[in-house]
């Protein structure tokens, strides 16, 4: 029996060897070998010790669009220069980034990456961590999350990727052809640490056509992220793609044009040396739960907080979330880059916004449970569709909350809640497609008989379907992105978003004394003595003499209307005059407002 087993094993080995010692033709047709030959061959790539690559990039963010599911928002146009030592795995990238969104600004900075650490010299984002703010000149070490993401993308775009793969055959596995646009691309999978790159090859030229990763996106769940290579041209003895695009689920989010590549360019060691003071505190590249899409795409809009927590600065004096009571029974979740709000009702809680990730939502839901025992979060109001304020919606949906959005947004969120999310690091896969979603048409008042919470849709340049909240008994508003009190004072000359807030509230007849916000903290609004908002809002404030006079006028007009033939004119269609809706926790929302 033993002999039989051995014979079989021998046969398998021999068969395996025969496969390994494939015919020259089979070797030539191996996609990696074919690709390697097409880009210049092992000898040429092996002789490439350093390279200098210059180019420009345009980036777009699909989940910061004006319209839900609309055109991706143009984010920035930048130039870069990469100097890399291939064998040492070190590089320096000098950036000049011109951002168009969320506000126009330019950041000029450098990134130095080594296998074990990374740093940023200069200001690279509006969201700066404590280390960067306290450094003079500004500089900080890369978080392990950013380092891992930067290294993954450096490997994906490396001109010697195919040689690395050919030299690491044990990490390469054949996979079935991948069909895109009717073309079947031969493909292999390459293990890169705990990541896998799927490399697709052009069936005619044998050149690599795409390099794909399968990522998790806080909005779209399981996504494909492709580097699409084209416009191949000779550079020294190498072939390099002059145009590289990144596609997220087939949608272009970045387009890179290479203007220059030099192989074996001089590379002075000090150009790729991390300053010792930074190196001593640097993080190792993260493994496991790296939110690649968040890390990469927040850099597209220049708002990435470089931290090993997605939501807050781990180097802050008191890192982490906390609840702050901003009115009786109203708690603001603060401590991160993005806040949310919990409003206590008679038998349930209404939450405003689900920022960033399900990890943040799980903290908020646990805090709500502790603060308001026996009152479930029944409603999650999403002020608008942007990824940074909705990325944690699944955790709310998973525990049964109804999602409340402005008119025109429900279809987007239905799609979002229907996609698979097997790669979500914070929530087990489950079917959330039946989550109730309701739309607010202009205005909706939710009441439990005592507390009234108004949801008001506002016209604004930031996003279609934007709502603010207003808690009448606390005279408190909730605002996301249009104004960030506590961070940005309301200036004498309002910007377009602030002006939209002031004008929209005035039109709606709402004059909150104070706002709590999704960024920053809280701030006086209608009572602020110097604010333009104050002057504008004062006209509607009940306790101002002007408002009192206006109200008296309105009463007189109403009395005239009431005495007119046919009685008072009922205005139930106009959003401002729609009656409040009493919402018990168990009320089916479909009965309140069909979408």
**Rounded (5°) CA angle 238-240-241:** 165
CB of 386 to Zn ion, least distance (A): 3
Q: 48 vs 44, 45, 51, 53, 285, CA distance in Å? A: 7, 5, 7, 13, 25
386 binds Zn ion (CB under 5 A): yes
Quote the least distance from Cβ 300 to Zn ion, whole Å: 14
Nearer to Zn ion, 481 or 540 (CB): 481
301 versus 476: smaller Cβ distance to Zn ion = 301
Instruction: Using the minimum distance from each CB to Zn ion, give the nearer residue, 30 or 388.
Output: 388
Question: How would you classify the pairing of strands 443-447 and 581-582?
Answer: parallel
The helices-and-strands tally (H runs, E runs) of the chain is: 17, 27
Is 121 or 482 the residue whose CB approaches Zn ion more closely?
482
| DSSP 3-state of 378 | strand
Of 260-319, binders to Zn ion (CB under 5 A) are none
Cα 361 to Cα 47, 395, 402: the distances in Å are: 50, 6, 15
Q: How far is the CB of 286 from Zn ion (least distance, A)?
A: 27
Minimal CB distance to Zn ion: which residue?
386
Q: What is the C-alpha to C-alpha distance for residues 593 and 446, in angstroms, rounded to an integer?
A: 12
Stretch touching Zn ion by CB under 5 A, among 203-211, 380-388, 437-445, 539-547: 380-388
Nearer to Zn ion, 256 or 516 (CB): 516
SS3 449: coil
- Are 114 and 105 contacting, i.e. CB atoms less than 8 angstroms apart? no
CA angle 427, 130, 477 (to 5 degrees): 65
Alpha-carbon 484 to chain mean position: 19
Strand ranges (E), 218-279: 221-235, 238-248, 251-263
Number of residues that bind Zn ion (CB under 5 A): 2
> Counting contacts by CB under 5 A, is residue 394 touching Zn ion?
no
Could you give the string, one character per residue 206-245, with x where binding to Zn ion holds by CB under 5 A and - elsewhere?
Answer: ----------------------------------------
* C-alpha span between 352 and 390 (Å, rounded): 10
Does residue number 132 form part of the binding site for Zn ion (CB under 5 A)? Answer: no
Minimum distance between the CB of residue 41 and Zn ion, rounded to whole angstroms? 49
Nearer to Zn ion, 84 or 440 (CB): 440
Name the segment binding Zn ion (CB under 5 A); options: 81-89, 383-391, 396-404, 554-562.
Answer: 383-391
CA distance 356 to 354: 7
Complex with Zn ion: residue 185 or 220, whichever CB lies closer: 220
- Six-digit token pair at 280? 């001593």
Bridge partners of 402, per DSSP, are 379
Stretch near Zn ion under the rule CB under 5 A, chosen from 175-183, 277-285, 379-387, 424-432: 379-387
Window 454 to 493, contacts with Zn ion (CB under 5 A)? 481
Closest contact distance (angstroms) between CB of 543 and Zn ion is: 33
Of 144, 150, 111, 436, which is closest to residue 284 (Cα–Cα)?
144
Min CB(518)–Zn ion separation in Å: 8
Only segment of 24-32, 155-163, 384-392, 515-523 that touches Zn ion (CB under 5 A): 384-392
CB of 299 to Zn ion, least distance (A): 17
Determine contact, residues 259/80, Cβ cutoff 8 Å. no
Choose between 313 and 388: whose C-beta lies nearer to Zn ion.
388
Contacts of 31 (CB under 8 A, 6+ apart): 186, 187, 188, 199, 201, 206
Least gap, CB of 394 to Zn ion (angstroms): 19
CB-CB contact of 373 with 347 (8 Å): no
Please report how close the Cβ of residue 294 comes to Zn ion at its closest, in angstroms: 15
| CB of 482 vs Zn ion, minimal distance in Å | 9
Nearer to Zn ion, 386 or 443 (CB): 386
Residue nearer to Zn ion on the CB measure, 244 or 386? 386
Which pair of tokens denotes residue 488?
């940005």
Instruction: Give residues in contact with Zn ion (CB under 5 A).
Output: 386, 481
């Amino acid at each position: 029996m033993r002999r039989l087993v051995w014979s079989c094993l021998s046969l398998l080995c021999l068969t395996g060897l025969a496969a390994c010692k494939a015919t020259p033709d089979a070797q030539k047709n191996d996609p990696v070998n074919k690709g390697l030959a097409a880009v210049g061959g092992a000898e040429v790539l092996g002789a490439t010790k350093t390279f200098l690559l210059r180019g420009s990039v345009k980036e777009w963010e699909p989940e910061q669009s004006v319209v839900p599911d609309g055109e991706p928002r143009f984010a920035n146009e930048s130039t870069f220069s990469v100097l890399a030592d291939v064998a040492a795995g070190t590089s320096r990238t000098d950036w000049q980034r011109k951002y168009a969104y969320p506000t126009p600004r330019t950041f000029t900075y450098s990134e130095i990456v080594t296998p074990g650490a990374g740093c940023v010299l200069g200001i690279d984002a509006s969201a700066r961590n404590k280390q960067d703010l306290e450094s003079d000149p500004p500089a900080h070490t890369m978080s392990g999350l950013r380092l891992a993401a930067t290294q993954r993308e450096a490997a994906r775009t490396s001109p010697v990727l195919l040689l690395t793969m050919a030299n690491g055959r044990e990490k390469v596995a054949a996979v079935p052809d991948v069909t895109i646009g009717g073309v079947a691309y031969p493909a292999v999978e390459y293990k890169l640490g705990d990541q896998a790159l799927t490399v697709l090859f052009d069936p005619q030229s044998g050149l690599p056509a795409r390099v794909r990763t399968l990522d998790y996106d806080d909005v779209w769940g399981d996504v494909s992220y492709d580097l699409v290579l084209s416009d191949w041209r000779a550079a020294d003895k190498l072939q390099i793609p002059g145009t590289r695009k990144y596609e997220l689920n087939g949608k272009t989010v970045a387009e890179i044009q290479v203007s220059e590549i030099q192989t074996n360019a001089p590379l002075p060691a000090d150009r790729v040396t991390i300053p010792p003071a930074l190196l001593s505190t640097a993080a190792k590249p993260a493994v496991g739960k790296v939110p690649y899409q968040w890390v990469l795409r927040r850099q597209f809009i220049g708002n990435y907080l470089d931290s090993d927590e997605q939501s807050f600065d781990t180097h802050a004096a008191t890192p982490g979330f906390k609840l702050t009571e901003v009115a009786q029974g109203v708690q603001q979740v603060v401590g991160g880059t993005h806040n949310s709000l919990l409003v206590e009702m008679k038998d349930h809680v209404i939450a405003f916004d689900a920022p960033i990730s399900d990890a943040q939502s799980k903290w908020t839901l646990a805090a709500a449970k502790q603060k308001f025992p026996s009152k479930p979060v029944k409603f999650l109001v999403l002020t608008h569709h942007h990824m940074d304020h909705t990325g944690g919606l699944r955790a709310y949906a998973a525990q049964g909350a109804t999602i409340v959005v402005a008119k025109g947004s429900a279809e987007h969120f239905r799609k979002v809640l229907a996609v698979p999310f097997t790669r979500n690091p914070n929530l087990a896969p489950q079917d959330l497609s039946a989550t109730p979603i309701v739309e607010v048409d202009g205005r909706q008042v939710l009441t439990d008989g005592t507390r009234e919470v108004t949801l008001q849709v506002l016209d604004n340049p930031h996003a279609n379907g934007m709502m603010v909240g207003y808690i009448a008994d606390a005279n408190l508003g909730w605002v996301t992105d249009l104004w960030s009190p506590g961070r940005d004072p309301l200036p004498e000359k309002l910007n377009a978003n602030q002006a939209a807030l002031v004008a929209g509230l005035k039109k709606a007849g709402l004059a909150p004394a104070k706002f709590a916000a999704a960024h920053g903290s809280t701030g006086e609004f209608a009572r602020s003595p110097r604010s333009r908002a104050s002057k504008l809002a004062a006209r509607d404030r009940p306790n101002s003499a002007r408002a009192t006079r206006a109200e008296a006028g309105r009463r007189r007009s109403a009395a005239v209307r009431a005495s007119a033939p046919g009685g008072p004119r009922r205005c139930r269609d106009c959003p401002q005059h729609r009656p409040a809706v009493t919402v018990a926790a168990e009320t089916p929302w479909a009965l309140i407002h069909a979408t």
